[in-house]
Amino acid sequence: MTYPPSLIQLIAALKKFPGVGKKSAERFAFKMLSWSEKDIKDFIKSIENVKSKLDFCSNCGALVETGSCPFCENMKRDTSLLCVVSSAKDIFSLEEVRLFNGVYHVLGALLSPLDHQFEEKLQLDHLIHRIKSLGVKEVILALDSTLEGDATALFIKSSLRDFDVRISRLALGLPLGSTLDFVDEGTLSRAFSGRSSF
Amino acid sequence: MTYPPSLIQLIAALKKFPGVGKKSAERFAFKMLSWSEKDIKDFIKSIENVKSKLDFCSNCGALVETGSCPFCENMKRDTSLLCVVSSAKDIFSLEEVRLFNGVYHVLGALLSPLDHQFEEKLQLDHLIHRIKSLGVKEVILALDSTLEGDATALFIKSSLRDFDVRISRLALGLPLGSTLDFVDEGTLSRAFSGRSSF
């Protein structure tokens, strides 16, 4: 006995969410069936709202609500510091920390040949254009400490070798509150070799 | 820096899916922002379709597409066998196995005081009414082998003690393809005590 066609369609749509496979999508769809008419209307309304009210800045890629970018059009931000992130979501995490007053650049992807994310996806021409026109002195690579993040960081570094900019990466080491016996080898070795005087 | 209000609303709506917390909902919402207009329209359409085309049988609780229940209104099903499940989704899994030709009864919940799922939620009056009117001879409890499933099974068993019906439960034991060293103690002890001659 297979699911009714309309349910199969919804399950297929739900599988587009990151990390959601067949089983999760099925659970989501059945959960939705138990929602009230009002829940469903509210849900659809919130999707439509987000799509009509939010957009990405065509310059830096940050999430923009009212039409003017809170970073590109903010005269108080230091344009000599450019922080490169993979997704607009990362900007919110970094802004939470309140340590950075420069501007951002969203790549939109990380190098990942297996997922068909090649060099073209990063649009480094645009990054280089911004570095030149903003007079950037330091490019901070705030990328994931994964294989994809590392590959992307190395690729950007080599692409920028002819420019007079400092390139930095986020520190690698022990996460706060961790115990040595639970930290993986790779992290421990990076924390050890990157030790600082104390 | 907090998310824009419309995004916060969408994240709250997405958190209603089972097993989806704040982090996952944020990832889903940002993924949605990258969807095309068409993707969004298709998604909304599929939700509306499901809500307009599907419903639950008011008698047994199974998922119904065209208005007539494929179990209650199917004369070929054996009404002396009643299989009790916690959710309409479970019926699809059981029908896949093709071992059962009786009728179903969806509880809609399992006993779980911590989640405010008390005895009233199970509506056992309705189950008892169906057992009587259908002339049920065997009630098969096809419930999760979890704390909640066990509690619900025990509760139903005690509620039905005055009725002349056989009550059975799904077998507990090794899942197919498992190795003994990876099976948890509880499963192994149930598999051992429930061993059958061979």
Q: What is the pLDDT of residues B84-127, one digit of tens each?
A: 999 999 999 898 888 899 999 999 989 998 888 888 889 999 99
Q: Is residue A193's pLDDT more than 90?
A: no
Q: Is residue B197's pLDDT more than 90?
A: no
Name the residue facing A31 among B3, B17, B91 (closest C-beta).
Answer: B17
Among A23-27, A106-110, A171-175, the range scoring the smallest mean pLDDT is: A171-175
The verdict on a CB contact (< 8 Å) between A51 and B31 is no
Helix, coil or strand: residue B11 = helix
Phi-psi category of A61—alpha, beta or left, where left has phi over 0 and alpha has psi -120 to 50? Answer: left
Q: Which CATH architecture has domain A63-169?
A: 3-Layer(aba) Sandwich (3.40)
Residues B133-173: pLDDT tens digits? 999 999 999 999 899 999 999 999 999 999 999 999 998 88
Say if CB B105 and CB B128 are below 8 A apart: no
The overall average pLDDT reported for chain A is 91
Helix, coil or strand: residue B189 = helix
Q: In chain A, how long is the greatest CA-to-CA distance? A: 66
Across residues A130-158, what is the average pLDDT?
A: 93
Q: Is residue A44's pLDDT more than 90?
A: yes
Phi-psi category of B111—alpha, beta or left, where left has phi over 0 and alpha has psi -120 to 50? Answer: beta
The verdict on a CB contact (< 8 Å) between A96 and B1 is yes
- Provide, rounded to the nearest whole percent, the portion of chain B with pLDDT above 90: 63
Question: Domain boundaries in chain B?
Answer: 5-52, 63-169
**How many C-beta atoms lie closer than 10 Å to residue A4's C-beta?**
16
Give the pLDDT confidence score for residue B104 in this predicted structure.
96
Burial class (CB in 10 A: 0-12, 13-18, 19+), B177: exposed
Helix, coil or strand: residue B117 = strand
User: Any CB–CB contact under 8 A between B15 and chain A?
Assistant: no
- Provide, rounded to the nearest whole percent, the portion of chain A with pLDDT above 90: 63
Residues A79-100: pLDDT tens digits? 999 999 999 999 998 988 888 9
Would you mind telling me the total number of residues written for chain A in this entry? 198
| B180 vs B88: which has the higher pLDDT | B88
Chain A residues inside the 8 Å CB shell of B42 = 13
User: In which element (H, E) is residue A55 found?
Assistant: strand A55-56
Name the residue facing B46 among A3, A13, A33 (closest C-beta).
Answer: A13
Q: Please tell me the distance from the alpha carbon of residue A157 to that of residue B102, in angstroms, as a whole number.
A: 67
Across residues A167-182, what is the average pLDDT?
A: 87
**Shortest alpha-carbon distance between residue A37 and chain B (Å):** 8
> Does B5-52 carry CATH code 1.10.8.420?
yes
Which residue pairs, CB below 8 angstroms and at least 24 apart, start in B148-154? B148/B110, B148/B111, B148/B112, B148/B117, B149/B86, B149/B110, B151/B110, B151/B111, B151/B112, B152/B86, B152/B107, B152/B110, B152/B111, B152/B122
Q: Please tell me the distance from the alpha carbon of residue B16 to that of residue B11, in angstroms, as a whole number.
A: 9
Q: How confident is the model at residue A178 (pLDDT cuts 50, 70, 90)?
A: confident
Interface test with A, best of B14, B17, B90, B93 (most A CBs within 10 A): B17
Give the pLDDT confidence score for residue A176 in this predicted structure.
87
Give the pLDDT confidence score for residue B186 in this predicted structure.
85
| A190 vs A78: which has the higher pLDDT | A78
Across residues B26-32, what is the average pLDDT?
A: 93
The verdict on a CB contact (< 8 Å) between A51 and B30 is no
Give the pLDDT confidence score for residue A140 in this predicted structure.
94
Q: pTM here? A: 0.77
